[in-house]
Amino acid sequence: MKNQKRWVLWFFLSPVLLWLVLLIVLPQIDLLTMSFHVENDDGRMVWSFANYLTFFQEPIYWLTFVRTAVYSILVTFLTFIIALPIAFYITKVAAPKFQGFLMMLLLLPFWVSELVRVYGWMILLRESGVINHFLIKLGLLNKPVEMLYNDATMIMGLVYTSMLFMVIPIVSVLESLDNSLIEAAYDLGADMWSILVKIIIPHAIPGIVSGSIVVFMLTLGNYLTPNLMGGKNSLWFTEQIYNQFIASFNWNQGAAFGFLLLVLSSLVIWIGLKLTKQNLKKVVQ
C-alpha cells in the first residue's frame, strides 16, 4: 500500500521534475559554469572571473544594468498607480453586470501578440505616424516630431504591456474587501485618503505585492518593447545579453550577464517583500 502510494506520487511528479531538471536546472548550471570560463591565449577554456570583472570595468554595462533596474521599479510603481483605481472601479464602483464586460475589455488587447501590439504603438507614434499626421492637420505642429525611441515612450509601452498582470491580482483581493469596512471607516471620520491608506491598501497588499513581482520580472526580462520602442537611445540590459550571445557570439559573457540579471531580480523582490512585510508563500497563494 505504502509502496503503491509512493509510486503514484513519483508518476505524477515526474513530468514536472523532468521539466524542471532538464529544461531549467541543467541549462542554468551549464550557463553558470560557462559564465566562469574564458578563452585563454591558447584558445582553451579556463576558469576565471573575467566575465564578471568586464561588467564592472565597462561603464556601459553596469550603467545599463542600473538603468534597467531603476526603470523596472519605476514601471512597476506606475503600473500600480494606474491599476489600483481601475481595479477599485471594477470591483466596487461598476454595476455587477458591467464588471465582466470591463474585465473583458482589459483582456482583449492580450489576445493579440505583444509584437503586434508594440507595432500598433509604433504606427501611432512614429514620425510619419497617425498622431503626428493629425497634430499637423490640426495645425498644432509645423513639422512632425519623433515620439518613438526615448525613455518616456519606452516606459509607457512597458506599463501598457504589464497593466493586466497588476490589475487582475488587485481585483481579486479587492473582491474580498467587505464594503462595510470602507463605510465604517468613512463613518468614523476618515477622508478618502486615509480610507485608501489605512483600509484599502493594507487589505490589498498581498495582491499588490504579487502583481508587482510579476510586473517587475516581466519588465526586467522584457526584450521586445525596449528594443522596438526605446531603440538605441534607451538601452535595456536584456539587449546587452542578446548582443553578447548573438552579435558578439560571446556566450560566456552573455551567461555572466544573465546571472547578474537573475541576482538583481531576486534581490529586488526580496527587498520588496521585506519592506511590505509579506512572505513569498502568502503572496504566491
Instruction: Please give the residue ranges that form the binding site for another protein (CB under 8 A).
Output: 178, 180-181, 183-191, 194, 198-199, 202-203
Identify which of residues 155 and 208 has a Cβ nearer to another protein in the complex: 208
Alpha carbon of 223 to those of 19, 68, 245, 270, 271: distances in Å? 24, 11, 14, 23, 24
Cell numbers for 255: 551567461
One DSSP character per residue, 216-260 reads HHHHHT--HHIIIIIGGGS--HHHHHHIIIIIS--HHHHHHHHHH
∠ CA 163-164-166, rounded to 5°: 70
The conformation of residue 108, written as its DSSP 8-state character, comes to G
Spacing of C-alpha 28 from chain mean position:
21
Identify which of residues 128 and 179 has a Cβ nearer to another protein in the complex: 179
Identify which of residues 95 and 188 has a Cβ nearer to another protein in the complex: 188
Closest approach of another protein to the CB of residue 7, in Å: 42
Closest approach of another protein to the CB of residue 233, in Å: 44
Closest approach of another protein to the CB of residue 191, in Å: 6
Identify which of residues 40 and 194 has a Cβ nearer to another protein in the complex: 194
Closest approach of another protein to the CB of residue 195, in Å: 9
Identify which of residues 15 and 189 has a Cβ nearer to another protein in the complex: 189
Closest approach of another protein to the CB of residue 87, in Å: 18
The conformation of residue 111, written as its DSSP 8-state character, comes to G
